[in-house]
Amino acid sequence: MALTIVGTMAFDAIETPFAKTDKTIGGSATYGAFAASNFTNNINQVSIVGYDFPTEVLTELNNLGIHTEGVEIVKDKLSFFWSGRYHLDMNSRDTLITDLNVLADFNPVLPESYQNTDYLFLGNVAPAIQKSVIQQLKQRPKLILLDTMNFWMEIALHDLLEVLTMIDILVINDGEARQLANEYSLVKAAKKILTMGPKYLVIKKGEHGALLFYDKEVFFAPALPLEDVFDPTGAGDAFAGGFIGHLAKTDDISFESMKTAIIMGSVTASFCVEKLGTERLRSITKQDIETRMKEFVGLTKFSVY
Amino acid sequence: MALTIVGTMAFDAIETPFAKTDKTIGGSATYGAFAASNFTNNINQVSIVGYDFPTEVLTELNNLGIHTEGVEIVKDKLSFFWSGRYHLDMNSRDTLITDLNVLADFNPVLPESYQNTDYLFLGNVAPAIQKSVIQQLKQRPKLILLDTMNFWMEIALHDLLEVLTMIDILVINDGEARQLANEYSLVKAAKKILTMGPKYLVIKKGEHGALLFYDKEVFFAPALPLEDVFDPTGAGDAFAGGFIGHLAKTDDISFESMKTAIIMGSVTASFCVEKLGTERLRSITKQDIETRMKEFVGLTKFSVY
């Protein structure tokens, strides 16, 4: 089924205790699309880049079944640029530079060919943009997933609360869930957030896994215990991309299917952090996914007696 | 099968954001025995108390199948007393008072009736005491589990490293594993610790669950997502007590059985934190355990496709 992904495509400069790069391809929609392309090859990308964004990357995306008609190329501006440095624990980072460049003008117009969207992944951009994309679709997608961050809770809460009433799944991290609900207990926070619009809530806890809340149900997906996390950049987008990619592939949005999807998200994120930037995400094979899926089964499966 | 538990029996004063008590029954062996008694009723307790320790508690333990011949009662001294205050996140606490009292003289002599021990749970006391207990047993138990803490790594590392070569399972938290191995990555730390003696390593991560390492295998048990954690005191001892209690009950020490046991540990700990002190641990029914076990299955079970 057709999956539309909205978000940033950018250059990143990343410094971790193990690696450093001055310029690598990044952005939420880039990570999301590479991740989802491991599951489905009918992806509509919505983003904005500058004249400096490599055409080879757009070609690589096209070859993976990712349509880029919805990626606006601004001829006289630079692409969005982000630079960050991770601390030793890899759970916290300092943002060193944020050059919005083209992103300041991001006001996406969906191409007609994107109107067949069944699954919509709204990456972390301004809630007003997320809302505008939903409104441009003549037919409501089967499933809308939204990612956001504390920044929008601080400067655009009204817009965010509005778009929350229009979506199905909210994906945020533990700190953001606590902030949005103003509750320390994640179970209490989840209860509150599920009254704000979304039917499903995914709370990402980094190396501590992710929780999926639905009605009175809760499901937990661990993160794979890894010897080394090489670069955590984009792991959250890879997680969401793998999650919705699996749903778009199976076209099954039952709670049971979402459990498998969240494990697929963890599987995808576990690859993402193994190498710098998007490198590992772009070289995952079907066999890699099957093997790692088995590792997740081994990691979590137990006999009751 | 007979299970021997060695550790402290004490009075605790506890302050959490939700509750406060000036004097309640505590100690690692108390929590461990109440926890394990939900699975087996052939437990040999080894500890030391003062004249102030309530005989009703000893009677209650006896009625649960916990033998107390190995609990020394010192007529002219007070019981060990610990006082602590938890922070809002419940993951960190300040120790306010530690009155060793009788614990300063703890030098356990195992009663002859304890020589039938199949399972041995060495709670967190000085490594030299843990070693002395192992040496007093004429026949090596089928399984020896040891709990310890950073304090002993700092002041008795030599003794600790020696006793590690005599045991089967080490149970410590994530910070302690990092300290013992001098490795930040838990996977790397586990590899190193498994060369120090224990065949199995359990790393407790509080609300983030627990990891079981064995050879090249790893298993993960989540903690139950709870609306409120009322009092985390003793949760680690309840976890270990439930874990070894299940193994002693089934007398199956295969890796498969240990996976179920670690879930039983999580189940037991999830009850422990629901009320203040040992209260909830002392009122768990078989039905409670079955119901919660089903919740853990629901929390973790997924279909591969």
Torsion of CA B177, B181, B185, B188, to 10 degrees: -110
Q: Could you report the per-residue pLDDT of B43-78, keeping only the tens digit for each?
A: 999 999 999 999 999 999 999 999 999 999 999 999
CB atoms A300 and B219 under 8 Å: yes
How many contacts does A have with B, using Cβ atoms within 8 A? 95
A-chain residues near B187 (CB < 8 A)? 225-227
**Distance, CA of B55 to CA of A145 (rounded, Å):** 59
Entry pTM: 0.95
- In chain A, DSSP finds a helix count (H) and a strand count (E) of 10, 13
Percent helix, strand, coil in chain B, to 5, is 40, 25, 35
Which DSSP string corresponds to A131-172?
A: HHHHHH-SS--SEEEEE--HHHHHH-HHHHHHHHTT-SEEEE
pLDDT of residue B89: 77
Q: Could you report the per-residue pLDDT of B202-240, keeping only the tens digit for each?
A: 999 999 999 999 999 999 999 999 998 899 999 999 999
pLDDT of residue B304: 87
pLDDT of residue B305: 66
**Distance, CA of A171 to CA of A105 (rounded, Å):** 25
**Distance, CA of A133 to CA of B113 (rounded, Å):** 75
CB atoms B225 and A222 under 8 Å: no
**Distance, CA of B215 to CA of B190 (rounded, Å):** 10
A-chain residues near B211 (CB < 8 A)? 225
B173 interfacial to chain A (CB closer than 8 Å): no
Domains and CATH numbers, chain B: 7-298 (3.40.1190.20)
Identity of residue A78: L
- How do the pLDDT tens digits run along chain A, 305 residues long? 999 999 999 999 999 988 899 999 999 999 999 999 999 999 999 999 999 999 999 999 999 999 999 999 999 999 999 999 998 777 788 999 999 999 999 999 999 999 999 999 999 999 999 999 999 999 999 999 999 999 999 999 999 999 999 999 999 999 999 999 999 999 999 999 999 999 999 999 999 999 999 999 999 999 999 998 899 999 999 999 999 999 999 999 999 999 999 999 999 999 999 999 999 999 999 999 999 999 999 999 999 86
A183 interfacial to chain B (CB closer than 8 Å): no
User: Rg (Cα) of chain B, in Å, rounded?
Assistant: 18
User: Which of B89, B257, B273, B302 would you mutate first to test chain A, the one with the most A CBs within 10 A?
Assistant: B302
Q: How far is CA B242 from CA A11, B116, B145, B234, in A?
A: 51, 21, 12, 12
Interior angle at CA B189, CA B185 and CA B192, nearest 5: 145
Mean pLDDT of chain B: 96
Residue of chain B whose Cα is closest to the Cα of A293: B304
Percent helix, strand, coil in chain A, to 5, is 40, 25, 35
pLDDT of residue A180: 98
Residue that the structure tokens 């509509």 belong to: A44
Percent of the residues in chain B that have a pLDDT greater than 90, as a whole number: 95
CB within 8 Å of B2: residues ≥ 6 apart? B42, B43, B44, B114, B116, B117, B118, B119, B248
Complex prediction ipTM: 0.92
Q: Could you report the per-residue pLDDT of B189-198, keeping only the tens digit for each?
A: 999 999 999 9
Which residue(s) pair with B227 in the sheet? Answer: none
SS3 per-residue string spanning A198-221: CCEEEEECHHHCEEEEECCEEEEE
Cα A115 vs. chain centroid, distance in angstroms?
21
A-chain residues near B262 (CB < 8 A)? 302
**Distance, CA of B205 to CA of A223 (rounded, Å):** 13
Mean pLDDT score, B99-116: 95
pLDDT of residue B35: 98
Residue of chain B whose Cα is closest to the Cα of A227: B187
Of A50, A240, A46, the C-alpha closest to A148 is: A240
CB atoms A303 and B260 under 8 Å: yes
Residue of chain A whose Cα is closest to the Cα of B188: A227
pLDDT of residue A106: 96
B216 interfacial to chain A (CB closer than 8 Å): no
CB within 8 Å of A23: residues ≥ 6 apart? A11, A12, A13
CB within 8 Å of B260: residues ≥ 6 apart? A302, A303, A304, A305, B246, B250
pLDDT of residue B19: 87
